[in-house]
Structure 1
Amino acid sequence: MAVAETGSGSAADRAGALLTIDLGAIRENYRLLRGRLGSGVCAGVVKADAYGLGAARVAPVLYDEGCREFFVAHLEEGIALRSSLPTDAELFVLHGAPAGAELDCAEHGLTPVLNSLEQIDAWTALAATVGRSLPAVLQVDSGMARMGLPEDELSVLAEDPGRLEGVGLRAVMSHLACADDQEHPANREQLQRFRSALRRLPAAPASFANSSGIFLGPDYHFDMVRPGAALYGVAPVNGQLNPMRPVVRLQGKIVQVREVPAGTPVGYGHSFRTTAPGRIATVSVGYADGFLRSLGNRGIAHAGSVALPFAGRVSMDSITLDATALPRGALPMGTLVDLIGPEQPVDAVAERAGTIGYEILTSLGGRYCRRYIDGGVEA
């Protein structure tokens, strides 16, 4: 959060919470993922502002580790990130160029992913207009019914490969739907469909595996993998020990602690009521900061190793905690408690919220004081 340094307090003093992002952990996660490959390329997915952690800070770190291929979702994301990377870094736009914005894509040196015949035709028309070949990635749908050429459009293109005239084909890609479940039959079915599509299309490097797909093994790696969430510490495989280093720590500040008698209702709707005398601590983080409302009466904060259950609903700007387990005076105003941290990584928070780590990370809001560290020091 960019805050002008005025007065005697620092930005961390003034903010209601501190979000620490460990760039060194991102480095190590990239190395781990790249190390699982043979000679293939390990790209970096930095869409959604690097999953909410700041693409302008994250992408250069990946570049320093040897990453040269970066994926964003939207054209505007690519335009914003282009100046943060050297010119030899290639930025791929997963949704392709929006209709009417193809020239913007080309002029900013971005490579679109072509997902339909309509996008292919618009890109080749631009290539003809500017009189040069334009790079692109071709995506085929191997069983997700979301993005990429469906079977009927794939057949049209396979029968008329000249339709790609003017396209410098950088890769053919597809996307796995169920890779986090290694035993799901869809993984093998999609692999077979993708291989079949590759045989019908002009020769080009192939890209198939996302973060979870990397852990399905070499059959899924092809020429380039595209990890995203695993770079940021999210577990890539359901039900297995997470091999990735945690990247984020979210600490909220205590703004008030009060002694309450038994039977005290807490928060909106009085959804929590104390059963014995105790202490309620209020933390200045809420759903306006991206800490999901679904964590009401289900979430846990930690003061060191001591668990402090959420007492009542998550409000827009605050969370109330049952701090009875701590002695009186243990949480003076301004004390930081962990909402995401060593005792509770992002996937554990997500499980309590009934969602996935991806949503927790990308929901983290703009009111936190953001602190970047690399190698344990401020970056």
Structure 2
Amino acid sequence: MTAMTEAVIDLAAIAHNARVLAATAGPAGMMAVVKANGFGHGAPQIARTALDHGATWLGVASVAEALALRAQGLTAPTLCWLYSPAETFDEVLQADIDVSAGSVTALEALAAAAERTGLVANVHLKLDTGMSRGGAPVEEWSELFTWARKLSDAGLLHIRGLWSHLANAEDRSDPGLHTQLREFDLGREAAAVAGLDPPILHLANSAAALHLPPARHDLMRAGIALYGIEPVPGQTFGLRPAMTVRAQILLTKRVPAGTGVSYGPDFYTDRETTLALVPLGFADGVPRVAAGQAALSVGGVRCPIAGRVSMDQIVLDVGDLPVRAGDWAVMFGPGDQGEPTAGEWAGWAGTNPHEILTGIGARVPRRYLS
């Protein structure tokens, strides 16, 4: 079977980004966040590369993601932070996976798992410092810390970390950012009053790690930057995009002016031109909303999408280019050859690069360059 599409993952770029981030972190450790299948790049491959080039921790969203890394033989310290209220945690403790907890209920479930398995649960207490998403709100901190101390003294929990997440680390002038930094310091002080001294404090995401030193603490969490997307608007830190998505052109046809293209049609050619059929569609991660703005690169020339994006295919208007079936059309890449970038696609689709990268579907095979 010959693949019509592929996402080429440059592991040298991941290695470079990991080194840049680790160097920036300085004495702090670096967590490689490989949730959502490594932002669409492949979690085990990214995890191994990042660990080989400066990462000291792995971070994932779900229990299933954490267990999958262990099944791949990855034994590095790993934190997961999203789980069902019915989660028992037995497998998690047996796999030596750290767990985030932002409620007394979660602490009790972890303690129960510790009693059943005879293993101490490694816990990172999560505080809501103003994002209003995960973590304990300030009015629940005292109770959370009291129970954490009680269950720690009972030998069931090891309070290994204290953490939170920043809502807008990209803008150092945002008053809300500085409020969150102060709230985290207050949480740290409140934990100390309760008799807790977690050895790992972590607050910084990619943006904060790169341009907000006060947020780095003991560990920084590298997400989007690890994959080569510059996280701070207007600033560059020498990161290299790692994913290139491309597809072979399947068919070309010469058509006259006034030819309708794709569903509707709501697009008609304005001149005699050549159309090229490309086997990428919204099931593969091409945003439908980007039609009318987006282009793919063919032979270094950007060619616009003609008509609507279908589930499995798009049509390009390649003009008078000498395009043939079997030529490659590049959806996005590093931009070195003039091709669009994931950031440009995010702009066309009105979203962020995270969604573009994680949206590349599973039926697009990943090919790895070492």
Q: Is this a same-fold pair by TM over 0.5?
A: yes
Per-residue CA deviations over 1:153-176 (Å, capped at 9, x if unaligned) read 212234555334221111101001
Alpha-carbon contact 1:74-1:95 (below 8 Å) kept? yes
Q: Which moved more, 1:125-134 or 1:306-315?
A: 125-134
Equivalent residue number for residue 105 of structure 2: 118
1:354 aligns with 2:350: yes
- How far residue 367 of structure 1 moved from its aligned partner, in angstroms, is 2.1
- How far residue 262 of structure 1 moved from its aligned partner, in angstroms, is 1.2
Equivalent residue number for residue 367 of structure 2: 371
- How far residue 133 of structure 1 moved from its aligned partner, in angstroms, is 2.7
Which of the residues 44, 65, 76 maps onto 1:56? 44
**CA separation of 1:260 and 1:104: change in aligned 2, threshold 3 A:** same
Which of the residues 35, 59, 84 maps onto 2:72? 84
Equivalent residue number for residue 160 of structure 2: 170
Q: How does 1:89-238 map to 2 (within 5 A)?
A: 89-96=76-83, 98-158=85-145, 162-165=149-152, 166-201=156-191, 202-204=196-198, 205-238=200-233
In structure 1, the gaps of 5 or more residues are: 1-10, 375-379
- How far residue 243 of structure 1 moved from its aligned partner, in angstroms, is 2.9
Residue 343 of structure 2 aligns to a residue whose secondary structure is helix
1:287 aligns with 2:314: no
Residue 211 of structure 2 aligns to a residue whose secondary structure is coil
1:264 aligns with 2:223: no
**CA separation of 1:49 and 1:333: change in aligned 2, threshold 3 A:** same
**CA separation of 1:118 and 1:372: change in aligned 2, threshold 3 A:** same
**CA separation of 1:98 and 1:256: change in aligned 2, threshold 3 A:** same
Query: Hey, what's the Cα distance between the residues in 2 that align with 1:366 and 1:117?
Result: 37
Q: How does 1:298-317 map to 2 (within 5 A)?
A: 298-317=293-312
Matched to 2:290, the amino acid is L
Q: Which moved more, 1:60-69 or 1:219-228?
A: 60-69
- How far residue 194 of structure 1 moved from its aligned partner, in angstroms, is 0.5
**CA separation of 1:86 and 1:359: change in aligned 2, threshold 3 A:** closer
- How far residue 370 of structure 1 moved from its aligned partner, in angstroms, is 1.9
- How far residue 62 of structure 1 moved from its aligned partner, in angstroms, is 1.5
Per-residue CA deviations over 1:232-274 (Å, capped at 9, x if unaligned) read 1122112334631010111111111111111111111212111
- How far residue 70 of structure 1 moved from its aligned partner, in angstroms, is 0.5
Equivalent residue number for residue 336 of structure 1: 328
**CA separation of 1:159 and 1:107: change in aligned 2, threshold 3 A:** closer
Residue 264 of structure 2 aligns to a residue whose secondary structure is helix
Query: Hey, what's the Cα distance between the residues in 2 that align with 1:304 and 1:32?
Result: 32
Number of equivalences: 358
Which of the residues 282, 299, 318 maps onto 1:323? 318
Equivalent residue number for residue 4 of structure 1: none
Alpha-carbon contact 1:113-1:137 (below 8 Å) kept? yes
Query: Hey, what's the Cα distance between the residues in 1 that align with 2:30 and 2:100?
Result: 17
- How far residue 77 of structure 1 moved from its aligned partner, in angstroms, is 0.7
- How far residue 319 of structure 1 moved from its aligned partner, in angstroms, is 0.8
Matched to 2:110, the amino acid is W
**CA separation of 1:225 and 1:337: change in aligned 2, threshold 3 A:** same
Alpha-carbon contact 2:88-2:110 (below 8 Å) kept? no
TM (norm. structure 1) is 0.90
Query: Hey, what's the Cα distance between the residues in 2 that align with 1:178 and 1:81?
Result: 29
Per-residue CA deviations over 1:76-110 (Å, capped at 9, x if unaligned) read 111111132443x1111111575242112112221
Equivalent residue number for residue 247 of structure 1: 242
Identity over aligned pairs, percent: 34
Query: Hey, what's the Cα distance between the residues in 2 that align with 1:70 and 1:30?
Result: 12
Residue 53 of structure 1 aligns to a residue whose secondary structure is coil
Q: Which moved more, 1:25-34 or 1:176-185?
A: 176-185
Query: Hey, what's the Cα distance between the residues in 2 that align with 1:123 and 1:365?
Result: 35
Q: Which moved more, 1:159-168 or 1:184-193?
A: 159-168
Query: Hey, what's the Cα distance between the residues in 2 that align with 1:159 and 1:370?
Result: 47
Per-residue CA deviations over 1:42-86 (Å, capped at 9, x if unaligned) read 111011110111112111111222423101111011111113244
In structure 2, the gaps of 5 or more residues are: none
Residue 269 of structure 1 aligns to a residue whose secondary structure is coil
Query: Hey, what's the Cα distance between the residues in 2 that align with 1:345 and 1:263?
Result: 31
Query: Hey, what's the Cα distance between the residues in 2 that align with 1:15 and 1:160?
Result: 54
- How far residue 207 of structure 1 moved from its aligned partner, in angstroms, is 0.2
Query: Hey, what's the Cα distance between the residues in 2 that align with 1:54 and 1:98?
Result: 28
Matched to 2:348, the amino acid is R
**CA separation of 1:252 and 1:191: change in aligned 2, threshold 3 A:** same
1:23 aligns with 2:19: no
Query: Hey, what's the Cα distance between the residues in 2 that align with 1:30 and 1:238?
Result: 20
TM (norm. structure 2) is 0.92
